[in-house]
Amino acid sequence: MKAFDPQICAPPLRVPRLTRPPVVLRPFAGTDLALVRQASADPLIASISSVPRSYTDDAGRAFIERQHRRAVEGDGFSFVIAADGEPQTGLGSIGLWVHEIENGRASVGYWLVDTARGRGLAAHALEAVTTFAFGDLGIPRLHLFVEPWNVASARTALSVGFCHEATLRGWERIDGTQHDCDCFALLRQEWQRGPAA
């Protein structure tokens, strides 16, 4: 296995287009205001992401601009999730965040608008990001944090091969209170060995 070089995540980053049918992942575009508006109306998405809590077109544009800045400044890769047959219509977002890349690890977070849920699309998006992170960037470890009640998210992580590592008590501050989170992780070497390992 090639040695990992954290410099591969040195800014500025370029957000690629990743195809993993039935989804495609692409950078945010100015035309994604409808997606941001729908996400802002969902209190759950607003509580776990930086979408504006009160939507205006200006706030939506600022959110999209922030996603571009995150790549330029080296925070990570913020993707829109869309159906591969209709890539211009955003259904959600998935991010690969590289703040801790000097330690060989990165984190992933995702959401879908409510009309896009129930079809397993997040698992396809997570597979695409996992392949990019391990296969293209060579990152040694990926992890994500899920609140214990969030069965859909936990099953998404497990279906891609992530393992439940720990329940972190009081890990995340959401809406002014500390919440437990389950940590799921996958190592590049496990991913390379495949599901049979």
Q: Shortest CA distance to 182 belongs to which of 160, 98, 157, 46?
A: 157
Binding ligand COA (rule: CB under 6 A), the pick from 28, 63, 79, 110 is 110
Single-letter amino acid, residue 78: S
Q: Would you count residue 33 as binding ligand COA (CB under 6 A)?
A: no
How is residue 84 annotated by DSSP?
T
**Number of amino acids touching ligand COA (CB under 6 A):** 21
- 81 touches ligand COA (CB under 6 A): no
The residue among 149 and 192 lying less far from ligand COA, judged by its C-beta, is 149
- Sequence-ordered list of residues with C-beta below 8 angstroms from that of 50, at least 6 positions apart, any chain: 63, 66
Residue 151 within binding range of ligand COA, rule CB under 6 A: yes
Given 24, 71, 121, 128, the residue binding ligand COA (CB under 6 A): 121
Contact 18, 24 (CB under 8 A): yes
By C-alpha distance, which of 92, 89, 85 is closest to 108?
92
Residue 183 sits in the site that holds ligand COA (CB under 6 A): no
Cβ of residue 88: shortest distance to ligand COA, in angstroms?
20
Exactly one of 8, 34, 44, 163 binds ligand COA (CB under 6 A); that residue is 44
Q: Does 111 bind ligand COA (CB under 6 A)?
A: yes
Q: Name the 3-class secondary structure at 92.
A: strand
Q: Name which of 28, 22, 52 is nearest 39 in CA terms.
A: 52
| Residue from the set 146, 183, 185, 187 that interacts with ligand COA by CB under 6 A | 146
According to CB under 6 A, which one of 153, 162, 184, 185 is a site residue for ligand COA?
A: 153
State how far the Cα of 144 lies from the Cα of 148, in Å rounded to an integer. 12
Q: Which of 61, 66, 105, 117 lies at the binding interface for ligand COA (CB under 6 A)?
A: 117
Cα(93)–Cα(26) distance, integer angstroms: 9
| Residue ranges binding ligand COA (CB under 6 A) | 44-45, 48, 110-112, 117-123, 146, 150-153, 155-156, 159
